[in-house]
C-alpha cells in the first residue's frame, strides 16, 4: 500500500503559499511491537498549525522542513499489534496530514460512534470544544447577567464559547466577518451579533454591550482587541487562546513589549489577561468537560457546524481559506471513507 | 487658627511643574456633629497622586482644579465631637496636602504608637506594604525556588515585595537605578540586584535569573517591562500595581491596544497579567496582612526605609523628585510636630 502525505516544503513568509506544502508518496509504515496501523478518515485543520510552520518555537517545537504537517485525526485501525485494539476500531489520533500512520495504543483514544458522529471528536467534543470550555469555565467565569464577547463567533471555538456562556446565564455578543456568518451566529443563540465588516466596530460594541464587557474571549487579536479593550469593565477577564488575526504576520515574540495603553488599562481596570492552551487543563477538566458537553450537545444546548471538504490534496487550499476566515464552522478534511456512515447505510 | 494647604493649580503636561501646585491659607474648618478636627503630622507622597492630577478618570476621580491634593496622613485629633475619640489620639486619615482637616470617625483608623512608629502606617504597615502583600500573596504566588523580579526595589512597595517573596522561599531579583540604591537593595536581602543604569538590562536579567522569571511584580512599566517580557517562564504571573515610568507620559488610555509581541507572549507562555489596586483585597486580606506584616517587621524578616522631609511647602519638590526616583524608601512629608517623639523625649 502507498501512503500519500503532505509535508512542509518551506516556511511561509506571511500567508502560506502553495509552494510551502509538498505532496509526497511513500510506502505504508510497518508495525513495530505493540503498534497500530491507522488509516486517516478525517483530518482536523486548526489555526495553531500556522504557528507550527514558523521556525520559532512557540509552546511546542515547529514542524521540521520535509516533515509531515501535524494534525489531529479520526482514524480507523487497519492492523493491530496491541490486544486492546482490533481492525475496524475508530480512534482519535494525531496522524497529521497523511493517509496512514503508526501509533501506540497510548497515543490514541477509542471513539464510540454510537455516542456522537465521529467528526465531533475534532470539534465540539474535541480540542476546540475543550478550549472553549476551559477558557470560559476556568478563566472567563462569566456570572449570570455579565456580558461576554467573542470573535470568530461561527468558528468551532467561538460558537461553543457563546453557547457555554449562555448556558451559564451570561449575555453573549458574537463578532463575525460578513453577512452570511451573521445569520449563522444568530442561529447559535448569541444575544447580539456584530458584523465587523459593516460600520465602526467600537460603536457596534457600544450598542451590543451597553453595560460594558466583563469577559472577552480572545481568539483573534488585532483590530477586535483594539476595539474591545477600552470597553472592558473593572475586573474583566480576558482568556487568550489564539490570535488568528496576527498568525500570518511577522514573528512577533521579540520586539518591544511596551504598550502603554494596554498596560495602563490593565492597571486602571484591574484586568486579568490570561493566556492558555488546553493542555494545562487536561487533567483538571477532562472529566467534567466530557460530562457537561456530551449532555449539552444531546440536549441541544450546544449546537455545532462542520465544514468538511473531501480529499487530502485540498488541505493546503482549505487551510489557507480558513486562515482568511472563509470556513463556516469546524474545518475538516475527509481523507478516506467513513466506516460509520458506510455501516449506517448498510443497516 | 489658620490652615495652610496645597491645591492643584493646573493639570501637568508631562512632569509636574511648580506652577501646577499652589499654596493657600484658609481658616481652620469647623466641626459638624460627630466630626473630628485633625492636625496633620505626616503626609504620605505616592506615585498614584500623579495620575489623580490628570483630567482623565482612572480607577478614581481626578482631583479637581483648585481642590486640595489628596493623600493619606497620620494625624492627631485636636477636637472631637465623637465619644470614640479624644484630643491627642493619633489616627490614620486621608487629610491630603494640608495642616488641618475634618473627618468622621468612620473615615479614620486609630493607631497604637506602642506597636510601631506611627510613620509605618503610611509605609510598610500601610498602603504600600499592603499592596506588596496582596500582589505577592494573592496574584504572584511565588513558589519555593521560583524567581521573582521587582523594580524600584528600594521603594516602599518593591522592597517589601522582595522581602515577602524571600520569606516565601523565592529567589528575588531587585532592579534599581543607581549605585547608591544598589547598596540599599542588597541590605533588603535581594538575592541579586541589578543597576539598570549600568550595562544592558536584558543581559543583566539573564545573569541574575538564569532559570527565567516566574513572577514579575510590575510597578514601573516602560523599559523594564520590555526586558522582562521575553524572559518570563511558562505560567509566569505579572501582578500590575503601578507604571511609574509612564506616569508623566501622555494619557495613554486611548490609542491602539494592538501589541502583537505582548499578546503573543501571553499566549505562547500561558501568562497571567493581572492589574489590581489594594481596595480589591481590603476585605479578604486586611486581617492576615496585619498579623503577618506586624510579625515580620518585629522579627526583622521585613525591614523598611523612610525618606522624611520636614515642611508642607516642600511637598511639591519632594513629590517631583520621587517621580524621578530620587527618594530612598517611603516618601513622607512631616507637616507638624510628632507627639509620639515629643513624648518619648520627655521620658
Question: In this structure, are A54 and A35 located in the same domain?
Answer: yes
Distance CA B40, CA B77 (A): 9
Largest CA distance in chain A: 64
Centre a 10 Å sphere on the Cβ of residue A210 and count the other Cβ atoms it contains.
10
- pLDDT per position in chain A (347 positions), as tens? 799 999 999 999 999 999 999 999 999 888 888 999 999 999 999 999 998 999 887 777 899 999 999 999 999 999 999 999 999 999 999 999 999 999 999 999 999 999 899 999 999 999 999 999 999 999 999 999 999 999 999 999 999 999 999 999 999 999 999 999 999 999 999 999 999 999 999 999 999 999 999 999 999 888 899 899 999 999 999 999 988 766 666 544 444 455 678 888 999 899 999 999 988 999 999 999 999 999 999 999 999 999 999 999 999 999 999 999 898 999 999 999 999 986 554 43
- Contact: B59, A234; criterion CB under 8 Å: yes
Query: pLDDT tens-digit profile of B125-159?
Result: 999 999 999 999 999 999 999 999 999 999 999 99
- Contact: A258, B58; criterion CB under 8 Å: no
Query: Considering just the CA atoms, what is the radius of gyration of chain A in Å?
Result: 21
- Contact: B274, A257; criterion CB under 8 Å: no
Question: In this structure, are A71 and A133 located in the same domain?
Answer: no
Question: In this structure, are B228 and B132 located in the same domain?
Answer: yes
In whole angstroms, how far apart are CA A299 and each of A162, A188, A293, B249?
16, 14, 10, 54
- Contact: B255, A261; criterion CB under 8 Å: yes
Question: In this structure, are B240 and B210 located in the same domain?
Answer: yes
Q: Can you give the residue range of the structural domain that contains B189?
A: 127-299
Sheet containing A272-275: which strands, arranged edge to edge? A192-195, A171-176, A147-151, A213-217, A232-240, A272-275, B272-275, B232-240, B213-217, B147-151, B171-176, B192-195
Contact A152, A243 (CB under 8 A): no
Dihedral angle over CA of A233, A234, A237, A243, nearest 10: 60
Work out how many CB contacts closer than 8 A connect A with B.
Answer: 151
- Contact: A267, B242; criterion CB under 8 Å: yes
Dihedral angle over CA of A248, A163, A184, A245, nearest 10: -10
What is the three-class DSSP state of A270? Answer: coil
**What's the structural domain count of chain B?**
2
Question: In this structure, are B99 and B246 located in the same domain?
Answer: no
Contact A105, A85 (CB under 8 A): yes
Contact A208, A186 (CB under 8 A): no
Nearest Cα residue in chain B from A244 = B264
How many CA atoms within 13 Å lie on the side-chain side of B120?
Answer: 19
Question: In this structure, are B133 and B279 located in the same domain?
Answer: yes
Distance CA A242, CA A248 (A): 12
Of residues B60, B13, B22, the one with CA closest to residue B248: B13
Question: In this structure, are B49 and B189 located in the same domain?
Answer: no
A262, A265, A270 member nearest B277 (Cβ)? A270
Q: How far is B148 from chain A (nearest CA, A)?
A: 19
Q: How far is A26 from chain B (nearest CA, A)?
A: 34
Contact A140, A148 (CB under 8 A): yes
Nearest Cα residue in chain B from A266 = B275
Share of chain B above pLDDT 90, in %: 80
The CATH number of residue B62's host domain is: 3.90.180.10
Q: Rounded to the nearest 5°, which phi and psi values hold at A196?
A: -70, -10
Question: In this structure, are A294 and A324 located in the same domain?
Answer: no
Query: pLDDT tens-digit profile of B235-294?
Result: 999 999 988 766 666 544 444 445 678 888 999 899 999 999 988 999 999 999 999 999
Nearest Cα residue in chain A from B228 = A257
How many CA atoms within 13 Å lie on the side-chain side of B311?
Answer: 6
Q: How far is A173 from chain B (nearest CA, A)?
A: 20
- CA-based torsion, A149, A151, A156, A159: positive or negative: positive
Distance CA B172, CA B202 (A): 16
Q: How far is B146 from chain A (nearest CA, A)?
A: 19
Residue B59's Cβ-count burial label (10 Å; 0-12, 13-18, 19+) is: middle
Contact A329, A44 (CB under 8 A): no
The H or E element containing residue B22 is strand B21-27
- Contact: B268, A58; criterion CB under 8 Å: yes
Question: In this structure, are B134 and B281 located in the same domain?
Answer: yes
What is the three-class DSSP state of B128? Answer: helix
Exposed e or buried b for every residue in A14-34, given b needs 16+ CB within 10 A? eebeeebbeeeeeebbeeeee
Distance CA B211, CA B145 (A): 10
Using DSSP bridges, classify how beta strands B171-176 and B192-195 pair: parallel, antiparallel or unpaired: parallel
B230, B253, B256 member nearest A254 (Cβ)? B230
Using DSSP bridges, classify how beta strands B35-44 and B330-334 pair: parallel, antiparallel or unpaired: antiparallel
Centre a 10 Å sphere on the Cβ of residue A279 and count the other Cβ atoms it contains.
13
Distant-in-sequence, close-in-space partners of B53: CB < 8 Å, separation ≥ 6: B8, B11, B12, B16, B20, B62, B63
Question: In this structure, are A205 and A178 located in the same domain?
Answer: yes
Nearest Cα residue in chain A from B252 = A261
Question: In this structure, are B82 and B142 located in the same domain?
Answer: no
The CATH number of residue B199's host domain is: 3.40.50.720
Distance CA A14, CA A338 (A): 35
Distant-in-sequence, close-in-space partners of A324: CB < 8 Å, separation ≥ 6: A15
Question: In this structure, are B97 and B154 located in the same domain?
Answer: no
Amino acid at each position: 500500500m502507498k501512503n500519500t502525505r503532505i509535508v512542509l516544503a518551506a516556511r511561509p513568509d506571511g500567508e502560506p503559499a502553495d509552494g510551502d506544502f509538498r505532496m509526497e508518496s511513500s510506502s505504508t509504515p510497518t508495525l513495530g511491537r505493540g503498534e497500530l496501523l491507522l488509516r486517516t478518515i478525517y483530518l482536523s485543520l486548526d489555526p495553531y498549525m500556522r504557528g507550527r510552520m514558523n521556525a520559532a518555537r512557540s509552546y511546542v517545537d515547529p514542524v521540521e522542513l520535509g516533515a509531515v504537517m501535524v494534525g489531529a485525526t479520526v482514524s480507523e485501525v487497519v492492523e493491530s499489534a496491541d490486544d486492546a485494539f482490533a481492525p475496524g476500531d475508530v480512534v482519535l489520533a494525531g496522524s497529521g496530514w497523511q493517509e496512514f500512520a503508526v501509533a501506540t495504543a497510548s497515543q490514541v483514544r477509542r471513539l464510540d460512534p454510537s455516542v456522537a458522529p465521529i467528526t465531533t471528536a475534532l470539534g465540539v467534543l474535541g480540542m476546540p470544544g475543550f478550549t472553549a470550555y476551559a477558557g470560559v469555565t476556568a478563566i472567563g467565569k462569566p456570572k449570570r447577567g455579565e456580558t461576554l464577547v467573542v470573535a470568530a463567533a461561527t468558528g468551532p471555538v467561538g460558537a461553543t464559547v457563546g453557547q457555554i456562556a449562555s448556558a451559564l446565564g451570561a449575555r453573549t455578543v458574537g463578532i463575525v466577518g460578513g453577512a452570511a456568518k451573521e445569520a449563522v451566529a444568530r442561529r447559535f443563540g448569541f444575544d447580539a451579533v456584530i458584523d465587523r465588516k459593516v460600520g465602526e466596530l467600537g460603536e457596534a460594541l457600544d450598542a451590543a454591550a451597553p453595560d460594558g464587557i466583563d469577559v472577552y474571549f480572545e481568539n483573534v487579536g488585532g483590530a477586535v482587541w483594539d476595539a474591545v479593550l477600552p470597553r472592558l469593565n473593572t475586573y474583566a477577564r480576558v482568556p487568550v487562546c489564539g490570535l488568528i488575526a496576527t498568525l500570518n504576520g511577522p514573528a512577533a515574540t521579540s520586539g518591544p513589549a511596551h504598550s502603554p495603553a494596554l498596560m495602563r488599562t490593565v492597571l486602571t481596570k484591574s484586568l486579568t489577561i490570561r493566556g492558555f492552551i488546553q493542555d494545562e487543563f487536561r487533567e483538571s477538566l477532562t472529566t467534567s468537560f466530557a460530562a457537561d458537553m456530551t449532555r449539552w450537545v444531546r440536549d441541544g444546548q450546544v449546537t455545532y457546524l462542520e465544514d468538511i471538504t473531501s480529499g487530502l490534496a485540498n488541505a493546503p487550499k482549505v487551510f489557507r481559506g480558513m486562515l482568511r476566515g472563509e470556513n463556516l464552522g469546524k474545518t475538516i478534511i475527509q481523507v478516506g471513507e467513513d466506516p460509520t456512515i458506510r455501516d449506517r447505510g448498510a443497516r
